[in-house]
Amino acid sequence: MAVRIAPSADVSDEATIGEGSSVWHLAQVREQAVLGEGCIVGRGAYIGTGVRLGDHCKVQNYALVYEPAELADGVFVGPAAVLTNDQYPRAINPDGSLKDASDWHAVGVTVGRGASIGARAVCIAPVSIGDWATVAAGAVVSRDVPAHAIVRGVPARQVGWVGHAGHPLVAEGDRFRCPATGRLYEPAGDTIREVENA
């Protein structure tokens, strides 16, 4: 499948865009960014220098993914969500001089396979979002999110578990069932795992 890049998009010649990916109107993809196969970068979205997206990621309209973020396969980033990269943001140094690239060290957000970041959520680097986790719309994530967790609020706190299909899981004794697929999950350390042959 061919790569589709809208005429108004700003995609660096030094970026790598995977087969079948689309970059829509007014989006920007910076130098050394890598998009896997079948990715979608929505209108006005920003993909920073050296950011890495796995296959089949969706970065929705006006989302901002700052370097050095790393997104695994199948990650969803909702409209106007922000993945930050500066722990101590300042425009100037203590002497009043304008900060430049040598005056700070970028830190990134890591997002695991199949995870979803809701619209207008903010993930404050450095945090990791676990595989298949869901960050609710408008949440502010300032600490790591376990795999399969649902977090919401400001600051984000865990409110439940989510299955592979994205639906909140329903408790069945000490286990959890997906209402959409019927898959069964059980506790495993600070997360859950699918019960095989359940």
DSSP code at position 195: P
DSSP code at position 99: P
Write down the pTM of the prediction. Answer: 0.95
Q: What does each C-alpha distance from 131 to 11, 119, 143, 177 come to in angstroms?
A: 28, 18, 15, 18
| Residue 103: φ, ψ to 5° | -95, 5
Q: What spatial distance separates the first Cα and last Cα of the chain, rounded to whole Å? A: 38
User: For 77, how many CA atoms within 13 A lie in the half-sphere containing its CB?
Assistant: 38
* Distance (Å, whole) CA 34 – CA 49: 9
Q: What is the pLDDT along the chain (198 residues), one digit of tens a residue?
A: 899 999 999 999 999 999 999 999 999 999 999 999 999 999 999 999 999 999 999 999 999 999 999 999 999 999 999 999 999 999 999 999 999 988 889 999 999 999 999 999 999 999 999 999 999 999 999 999 999 999 999 999 999 999 999 999 999 999 999 999 999 999 999 999 999 876
| Residue of 12, 53, 40, 46 whose CA lies nearest to 27 | 46
